[in-house]
Amino acid sequence: MARSWASVDWYDHPRWYDAIYAPGTRREADFLEALVERHGRRGRRRALEPACGSGRLVAELARRGWRVDGFDASAAMLAHARARLARRGLRGRLVEGRLERCPDLGKHELAYCLVSSFKYVQSEAQALAHLRAIARGLVPGGLYVLGIDLAEYDSSRLWVERWSGRSGRARVALEVVGRPPDRRTRSETMRSRVWVRGLGPVLRHESNWTFRTWDHAELVRLLARAREFEHVATHAYDHDAARPIPFDGAQLDNVLVLRRRGRGAARISAP
Ligand SMILES: C[S@@+](CC[C@H](N)C(=O)[O-])C[C@H]1O[C@@H](n2cnc3c(N)ncnc32)[C@H](O)[C@@H]1O
């Protein structure tokens, strides 16, 4: 018998999202702190997370003494994030907002958006507006750490990734299938399927996405226009702060370390 899949918005189910992504959180927070230490501005510790989602990183940085602001388009993710902070007695300012029109939440030493959420921004003009708005929310010398998977337009392969995790008694499996990117429309589509077992009948959720694509040359052009930033380092999705990689398009998973230019930024050391 064919299995039926409920078509849902994956972000309406933060608990299953966290089961998959939460295990990497401490390593990502270590990575961010190491980047600030190496390239950023020491002193005050104010962070901004665009598309903060379930708040896993907001909570981890708040636990480490950062004052964290975040925004997201999903009311369900924000409610989950606020409940997590409240449960742990942590503070953070979380508001509804979109990547295309970032809300003004004051100045920060660090902004970060790690898991390719930037690709939800559908146009070049909006992507530039996003970078400029984030720059306005940073002090000179502040960092924007931006994770993005690059497109391989010549590829005709489907790619498939699978993860699993747990949440209480629930066992959660995620499969993401990506179709080859389309150079003409600058887009790629992705299907994610989630299985939740251990809570009675198996839950089967399916979500479909369309992302804006960026290959290396497209991203280089965008960064050249975002003159508020200098690009000071690139890392991979292993979040190893001690191992920068060349920014040459050879590796598809890139975490860009962008530093806000401006008076005061030049005094920052980058050993
Ligand atoms: C992959 S999750 C990342 C969440 C979080 N940053 C993390 O690292 O776990 C992507 C998030 O982007 C949010 N999102 C998608 N499109 C958005 C948009 N245009 N503006 C703001 N948030 C958006 C979703 O609601 C979701 O919470």
Determine, yes or no, domain membership for 268. Answer: no
What CATH number should be reported for the domain holding residue 196?
A: 2.20.130.10
Q: What is the pLDDT at residue 268?
A: 46
Region 59-70: mean pLDDT is 98
Range from 93-97, 158-162, 216-220, 266-270 carrying the lowest mean pLDDT: 266-270
* Ligand 1 pocket mutation, candidates 101, 120, 239, criterion most atoms within 8 A of CB: 120
Q: What is the pLDDT at residue 240?
A: 97
Region 141-154: mean pLDDT is 97
Q: Whose CA is nearest to atom 6 of ligand 1?
A: 52
Distance 77 CA to ligand 1 centre (A): 9
Is the domain of 34 the same as that of 53? yes
Is the domain of 146 the same as that of 86? yes
For ligand 1, whether the C-beta of 10 sits within 6 Å is: no
Give which of 16, 6, 8, 4 is closest to 164, Cα–Cα.
Answer: 16
- Domain interval for residue 156: 152-211
pLDDT tens digits for range 84-139: 999 999 999 999 999 999 999 999 999 999 999 999 999 999 999 999 999 999 99
Q: Are strands 170-178 and 187-197 parallel, antiparallel or unpaired?
A: antiparallel
Q: What is the pLDDT at residue 3?
A: 74
Determine, yes or no, domain membership for 5. Answer: no
Residue 264 has pLDDT above 80, yes or no: no
Q: What is the pLDDT at residue 265?
A: 66
Return the residue matching tokens 């010398």. Answer: 141
Is the domain of 163 the same as that of 41? no
pLDDT tens digits for range 5-45: 989 898 999 999 999 999 999 999 999 999 999 999 988 99
Is the domain of 187 the same as that of 225? no
Residue 271 has pLDDT above 60, yes or no: no
Looking at the CA of residue 28, tell me the nearest atom of ligand 1. Answer: 8
Q: How confident is the model at residue 2 (pLDDT cuts 50, 70, 90)?
A: low
pLDDT tens digits for range 186-200: 999 999 999 999 999
28 in helix, strand or coil?
Answer: helix
Distance 224 CA to ligand 1 centre (A): 25
Question: What is the spatial distance between Cα 259 and Cα 36, in angstroms, rounded to a whole number?
Answer: 10
For ligand 1, whether the C-beta of 17 sits within 6 Å is: no
pLDDT tens digits for range 208-257: 999 999 999 999 999 999 999 999 999 999 999 999 999 999 999 999 99
Determine, yes or no, domain membership for 206. Answer: yes
C-alpha to C-alpha distances, 199 to 13, 86, 166, 202, nearest whole angstrom: 15, 26, 12, 7
Is the domain of 55 the same as that of 124? yes
Q: Whose CA is nearest to atom 3 of ligand 1?
A: 53
Q: Which of 194, 211, 228 is the last residue of a domain?
A: 211
Is the domain of 58 the same as that of 104? yes
Determine, yes or no, domain membership for 271. Answer: no
51 in helix, strand or coil?
Answer: coil
pTM of this structure: 0.95
Assess contact for 80 and 15: CB atoms under 8 A. yes
Q: What is the pLDDT at residue 8?
A: 86
For ligand 1, whether the C-beta of 127 sits within 6 Å is: no
For ligand 1, whether the C-beta of 207 sits within 6 Å is: no
For ligand 1, whether the C-beta of 146 sits within 6 Å is: no
Determine, yes or no, domain membership for 139. Answer: yes
Question: What is the spatial distance between Cα 126 and Cα 159, in angstroms, rounded to a whole number?
Answer: 27
Is the domain of 169 the same as that of 35? no
Determine, yes or no, domain membership for 37. Answer: yes
- Taking each helix axis from N to C end, the angle separating 124-136 and 216-225, rounded to the nearest 10 degrees, works out to 50
Buried residues in 198-219 as b, exposed as e (16+ CB within 10 A) = eeeeebebebebebbbbbbebb
Is the domain of 33 the same as that of 123? yes
Q: What is the mean pLDDT of the chain?
A: 95
Q: What is the pLDDT at residue 269?
A: 42
3-state DSSP of 106-161: CCEEEEEECCCHHHHCCCHHHHHHHHHHHHHCEEEEEEEEEEEECCCCCCCCCEEE
Question: What is the spatial distance between Cα 251 and Cα 235, in angstroms, rounded to a whole number?
Answer: 10
What CATH number should be reported for the domain holding residue 124?
A: 3.40.50.150
For ligand 1, whether the C-beta of 190 sits within 6 Å is: no
Is the domain of 123 the same as that of 56? yes
Is the domain of 70 the same as that of 203? no
Is the domain of 94 the same as that of 175? no
Is the domain of 60 the same as that of 128? yes
For ligand 1, whether the C-beta of 99 sits within 6 Å is: yes
Q: How many domains does the chain have?
A: 2
Determine, yes or no, domain membership for 257. Answer: yes
Determine, yes or no, domain membership for 270. Answer: no
Q: Find the DSSP H helices in the chain.
A: 14-21, 25-39, 56-63, 75-88, 124-136, 216-225
